[in-house]
Amino acid sequence: MIQKFLIISITLSVSNLAFAQSDQVVIAQPDYNILYAGCANTVQVGRKDGITDFVLQAEGMDIQLQDPVSSIYIFTPRGKDRISLYFLNNTQTDTLDFKEFRVLPLPPAEIYLGDAKNGEILTNRTASVLSLKLPAFVTVNANMTIADWSASLDDDKKLFYGEGQQLSVELMEKIKNAPKGAVLHLEVAYKTNGKGIKRQKLTFTL
């Protein structure tokens, strides 16, 4: 039992060491200087001159040190202006240097109905759940939720409404019985990090 415990402990220590070692260098593309407004941007910060005892400061941005060993920070810009990040010495009396960031809004979410994306053919007519994804190039996570939706089929003037990500039974019945080639029009409203409503119009061919 003790032997087992020792083996597990050693294995955990070695894996922790390996994990820590793999995070000891900042691999930076200085031209890539984007921060997403209002989002928690995870970054790793280091200095070429070997100074490890530095303080970061920026106006208009919250800075949180998440992992002191790997020097991982969370940058959350509050506004939409450019941000200057200042490196100060440990007594905060001297500025070592600074780096500029562009602050961009999150791009529009990609909205799916089942596995189908806007503009695609809805091969699975029983798909009833809407979902949101950020484009693959976005480096942050955001909590996106669908507030409400409205839908119609082709020229039918009847509108269907609902809240949340689930389409209504009534609309699903309509989709199920629609002729091949009919077009489902959806307008979806969603929130990002609990704030602001964005709307997108989508079409799916049945």
Residue ranges in contact with another protein by CB under 8 A: 21-34, 41-52, 54, 70-72, 85, 87, 95-99, 102, 104, 107, 135, 137-140
Least distance (Å) from another protein to the CB of residue 54?
Answer: 8
Q: How far is the CB of 183 from another protein (least distance, A)?
A: 21
CA distance 199 to 109: 10
E strand or H helix at 21: helix 2-21
Please identify which residue in the block is written with the tokens 């303080």. Answer: 55
Q: Compare residues 74 and 182 and give the one whose CB is closer to another protein.
A: 74
Minimum gap (Å) between residue 121 Cβ and another protein: 24
Choose between 101 and 160: whose C-beta lies nearer to another protein.
101
103-116 as b/e: b if 16+ CB within 10 A: beebeebebbbbeb
Please tell me the distance from the alpha carbon of residue 33 to that of residue 22, in angstroms, as a whole number. 23
- Comparing CB distances to another protein, the nearer of 86 and 150 is 86
Q: Toward another protein, which CB reaches closer, 95 or 124?
A: 95
Spatial CA neighbour of 33 closest among 87, 98, 110 = 98
Residue placing its CB nearer to another protein in the complex, 16 or 21: 21
Smallest distance, another protein to C-beta of residue 52, A: 5
- Residue 134: other Cβ atoms inside 10 A: 19
CB of 162 to another protein, least distance (A): 29
Helix (H) or strand (E) holding 151: strand 144-153
